[in-house]
């Protein structure tokens, strides 16, 4: 099993019924559904939140993250509670049902409130959760003993197994480090 992560941040907006994110540095918006698709049906830790600019402007809706203030009505409720900041954090198997995203845990579905990101500066961070038992099975070193004298073919197979599993671990660690760099850069 590989470690996977998603980091999407910027100005969220809906166009033609599709949730998009515009980043300052990117010429084209990111389609949120496309960003989440690679982790669909996997067990994840998922967070979505409003992300006010720094410094936070306490006189503005959502500390300055809400673009609906001039309209007088906000889908996240800033017209009723200007200090509100969305912070959704949960874990489960990421599901897409109809046009909405959900987390399923123990047969219970929990809706991910992505609609509250519309018209806001925000961030989505999702990382796969690795089941230690199945991960241990994926990294099965049983039967490998390079100290024993074995025929060259058996040793070659054992070395290939070790190399493949080491590359898998290295890839997971590299992706995790890239996620941490992105989080530090953005936050």
Within 10 angstroms of residue 182's Cβ, the number of other Cβ atoms is 14
Residues 171 and 89 in one domain: no
Q: Domain boundary at 85, 104, 129, which?
A: 129
Within 10 angstroms of residue 178's Cβ, the number of other Cβ atoms is 12
Total number of domains constituting the chain: 2
Q: Domain boundary at 79, 94, 129, which?
A: 129
- Domain span at residue 156? 132-187
Burial class (CB in 10 A: 0-12, 13-18, 19+), 65: buried
Q: Tell me, what DSSP letter sits at residue 66?
A: B
- Across the chain, which has 187 residues, the per-10-residue mean pLDDT values are 84 96 89 96 94 92 96 96 95 94 95 97 91 51 58 65 62 62 58
Residues 120 and 66 in one domain: yes
The whole-number pLDDT of residue 163 equals 66
Q: Domain boundary at 129, 145, 161, which?
A: 129
Residue with tokens 């939140």: 49
Is the entire prediction scored with pTM above 0.75? no
Residues 169 and 136 in one domain: yes
- Phi/psi at 50 (5° precision): -70, 150
Residues 111 and 20 in one domain: yes
pLDDT tens readout for residues 114-155: 999 999 999 999 999 875 454 555 555 555 555 555 666 666
Residues 5 and 16 in one domain: yes
Residues 103 and 30 in one domain: yes
The whole-number pLDDT of residue 187 equals 47
């Amino acid at each position: 099993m590989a470690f996977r992560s998603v980091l999407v941040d910027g100005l969220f907006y809906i166009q033609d019924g599709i949730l998009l994110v515009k980043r300052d540095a990117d010429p084209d918006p990111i389609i949120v559904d496309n960003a989440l698709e690679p982790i669909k049906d996997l067990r994840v830790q998922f967070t979505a939140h409003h992300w006010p600019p720094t410094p936070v402007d306490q006189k503005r809706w959502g500390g300055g993250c809400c673009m609906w203030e001039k309209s007088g009505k906000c889908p996240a409720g800033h017209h009723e509670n200007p200090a509100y900041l969305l912070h959704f954090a949960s874990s489960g198997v990421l599901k897409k049902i109809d046009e909405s995203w959900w987390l399923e845990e123990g047969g219970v579905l929990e809706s991910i409130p992505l609609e509250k990101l519309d018209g806001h500066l925000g961030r989505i961070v999702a990382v796969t959760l690795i089941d230690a038992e199945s991960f241990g099975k994926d990294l099965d070193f049983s039967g490998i003993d390079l100290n024993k004298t074995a025929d060259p073919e058996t040793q070659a197979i054992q070395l290939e197994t070790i190399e493949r599993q080491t590359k898998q671990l290295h890839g997971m660690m590299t992706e995790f480090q890239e996620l941490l760099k992105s989080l530090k850069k953005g936050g």
